[in-house]
Each structure stands twice: as C-alpha cells, then as structure tokens.
Amino acid sequence: MERLFNFSAGPAALPLSVLEEAQRDLLCYPGAGCSVMEMSHRSRPYEEIIEETEATLRRIMNIPDDYAVVFCQGGATMQFSMAAMNYARQGQKAAHAVNGVFSKKAFEEASRWCDAYKIVDTKTSVPEITEDMILPGTAYLHITGNNTTSGTMYRNLPKHGDIPLIGDWTSGILGTEIDVKDYSLVYAGAQKNMGPAGVAVAIFKRGSVLPDIDPIVPSLLRYETMDKTGSMLNTPPTFAIYMCGLVYKWVEEQGGVSELQKLNEKKSQILYDVIDSSKLYKGIADKDCRSIMNVTFTLPDEENTNAFLEMAKKRGMISLAGYRSVGGIRASIYNGMPIEGVECLAECMVDFEKGYRE
C-alpha cells in the first residue's frame, strides 16, 4: 500500500527522507555494528548521536549557552507536572492560561502540586495577557503556544513582568520561530514536529528553577539533575532521540525554522482561503489567532462531516477527524506534511462543496 497524506495531530507525519534514512540504517548503524535500538546509551557511538542531536537543535533554534537542553520521558504530559515541581513550591500560586484541552490538562496537573489558577479560560481565542492580571506571589506563568484541538496559536507573548514564563510548544516547535530567551522554560513532546512519540525536549535557562526544590521531587523530575547527567540519569529513549536528530538535520537542510514557518504559513493560508470563501465550512478558531499548524473547521452536521471524511479517504487523505470533544475537521499540517497534501485537501473541500462525493 502506498503512503497516504496523513493529517494526524500526533504521532504525526515525518519527512519521507528522514524515514528513508532511518530505514537504511535500521539494522546496522554505520560504524556501530548494531542497530541504534540495540546500542548501549553509554557507548561512544550513541554519545556521539545524542551530542550531535543537541548541537543541531541548538543551531536551528538559536539556543544560547546559558540554556540547557534535556531529553525526558513521559511526553509533554509529564512536563505538566515537572514544570510545576521545578518552578513552584507546594501550595504556591501559579498562573495558567487555559485555551484548549491540553492547556487545561497542564493546569489540572499543576494543581496537584501548587495553587494553580486560570489567568484566562477560552477555547477558540488567545486573549491578551497583561502584568496586572497576575496575582501577587505567583511563581510562574504557563502558556500553551499552539492549541491543537481548536487550532489557535499565540501571536504575541504575554506581558508577565519578572516572573518566569513557561511555554508548552509541543505542536508549534520547529514549525514557527520561537525565541527561547523570552522564556525560562520551553518544552515540547516530540511526536508532532520533532520525531516519534517517546521523548520530550525541555529547554530551560540555567539558574531559573527553584534553588530549594522540595526533597520529595524524584531525581528524574528535576531539570538540573537531567542537565548535569546529560539526559542520562537512566536509560533515555535512545531511538526516539536518534530520530529527532535526523529531523533536526532535515530542518537545517530546508533552510531552518524561518523557511519552514514561511512554508507553513503558505500551507495554512491555502486552507483558510477555502474556508473564508465558503458557505459550507466554518472555521473554529478566531481569525486573529489561527494556527499555522492545525487548521480546524466544521460542516453543518454530522452527516456532511462523515461524508467529507469518507471522500477525503478515497482521495488518499487520512486522520482528518477533529478532536473528540470538538468535532468537525482538523488538518494538522506540520513540517512533515508536503504542500501537495494541503493542495489535495483544498481541492477536496472545493469539490465537496460543489456536490461531488467521490
């Protein structure tokens, strides 16, 4: 069976050349005598892999030397807890901007540790956040840079004064430029735009975490410990990190994040143009904060939605159903989605509105 255009929100499509390179080296990594999946994480070949992976990420994201890069397990969901434990004391106030399903989950997990409160609570918009909205004694402000469920994205950073800003950029990282110097901590699960599921990347300013983290916090959930051990306090997700390294090199070969952002803006605009000129489709996200990673829209009813999904599948497109609590259609057009796939979807949308069903 030939590959289809996969619009999955995650695990998401990977660049074809990355998959082909991994396939070539799957049985035996050059010079190692074994697969990366079989390789000791303490061996010199693997040390070179993880070192080069970090170095490439630093280049393509312009990460300063005073920021650490660590590879963690547990995905972004583990980061919801890890961020709170490293940046707030138990019971301390923490501000969370809730604008979607996963930002709500981040808030709920942080609430287990500290006195988290919602500074905003929306679903289809990204309200402006000003310093006067932050309560006295707040430990940090947490935002979710790109909301996959309804397809919103931060265009302007919150005004947060001198408290740490933490950003979950799981579904935007490497697809849009992020200045890590604006944050004390940026984290992302890999399975959207970085690689396969199984690893999360955390980028934090050294010295920004609490100097007296509660002794109850496990070693694996301490950013500084992960930094000091080179992400190898225990066996890391070796193959997932290797795959991320291949993706990072691919990003560099495309001209870097800035070039991919331009392409993603072009891809998303193709779909938004169809939505905005249509009487059938209705965009979910407010226009001033629409994502360039996840384009979301609805049809008049479930019958039309199912018919559209069936037609798209016949034309070689999969994983277009919206998030279960939102419904409608969600086209995730991360870096791994070629523009040809987006054009195919746009053509399908136009034809469906004309009455075609094949």
146 closest CA partner among 187, 199, 94, 107 = 187
User: What's the whole-number mean pLDDT along residues 196-214?
Assistant: 96
Domain 256-354 has CATH 3.90.1150.10: yes
308-319 pLDDT, tens digit each: 999 999 999 999
With a pLDDT cut of 70, the percent of the chain lying above it is: 100
161-172 pLDDT, tens digit each: 999 999 999 999
Q: Do domains 16-253 and 256-354 have the same CATH topology?
A: no
261-315 pLDDT, tens digit each: 999 999 999 999 999 999 999 999 999 999 999 999 999 999 999 999 999 999 9
C-alpha–C-alpha distance, residues 319 and 327, integer Å: 13
Q: Is the pLDDT of residue 145 over 90?
A: yes
**CATH fold for domain 16-253:** Aspartate Aminotransferase; domain 2 (3.40.640)
Residue 128: per-residue pLDDT: 93
170 closest CA partner among 178, 182, 159 = 178
Q: Is the pLDDT of residue 68 over 90?
A: yes
Residue 181: per-residue pLDDT: 97
87-120 pLDDT, tens digit each: 999 999 999 999 999 999 999 999 999 999 999 9
Residue 1: per-residue pLDDT: 63
Residue 223: φ, ψ to 5°: -60, -45
Residue 327: per-residue pLDDT: 85
4-18 pLDDT, tens digit each: 999 999 999 999 999
Q: Where are the beta strands (DSSP E) in the chain?
A: 5-6, 67-72, 93-98, 115-121, 138-144, 146-147, 152-153, 165-168, 185-189, 200-205, 282-283, 294-298, 317-318, 329-332
Residue 324: per-residue pLDDT: 83
Residue 203: per-residue pLDDT: 98
Q: Is the pLDDT of residue 129 over 80?
A: yes
21-53 pLDDT, tens digit each: 999 999 999 999 999 999 999 999 999 999 999
Q: Is the pLDDT of residue 323 over 90?
A: no
Residue 119: per-residue pLDDT: 96
The average confidence (pLDDT) of the chain is 96
C-alpha–C-alpha distance, residues 331 and 118, integer Å: 28
Please state the domain extents for the chain.
16-253, 256-354
Q: β-pairing, 317-318 with 282-283?
A: unpaired
